[in-house]
Amino acid sequence: MTALATRIARDAGGSAEPMAPQTERSDERLFEPDGPTLEDLVLGVWEELVADGRAECPVCGSAISLLDGCEGCGAHLS
């Protein structure tokens, strides 16, 4: 089994249309080749959650808690 992530745009009526691929490369990257990995990021958030009960959500940047998840996007770490 494999996973595929695609960008989907939703119009006001809720119907989904695939977005056109970007022709220009964005200067903003989630992770730099020599920077922290996704694992490093998630483990850091998890450690902060265990120690403080709250942390910055790795998905959207809002506050995330152990019990309620993210206030902004609803993400949970388990």
pLDDT of residue 52: 93
Q: Is residue 46 part of a domain?
A: yes
pLDDT band at 64 (very low <50, low <70, confident <90, very high): very high
pLDDT tens readout for residues 7-49: 555 555 656 555 555 555 555 665 567 778 888 989 999 999 9
Q: Is residue 49 part of a domain?
A: yes
pLDDT of residue 4: 46
pTM of the predicted model as reported, rounded to 2 decimal places? 0.54
Range of the structural domain that residue 63 is part of: 37-78
Q: Is residue 7 part of a domain?
A: no
> Which residue is associated with the tokens 């902060």?
48
**Greater model confidence, 15 or 55:** 55
Q: Is residue 16 part of a domain?
A: no
Number of alpha carbons in the 13 Å side-chain half-sphere of residue 24 = 3
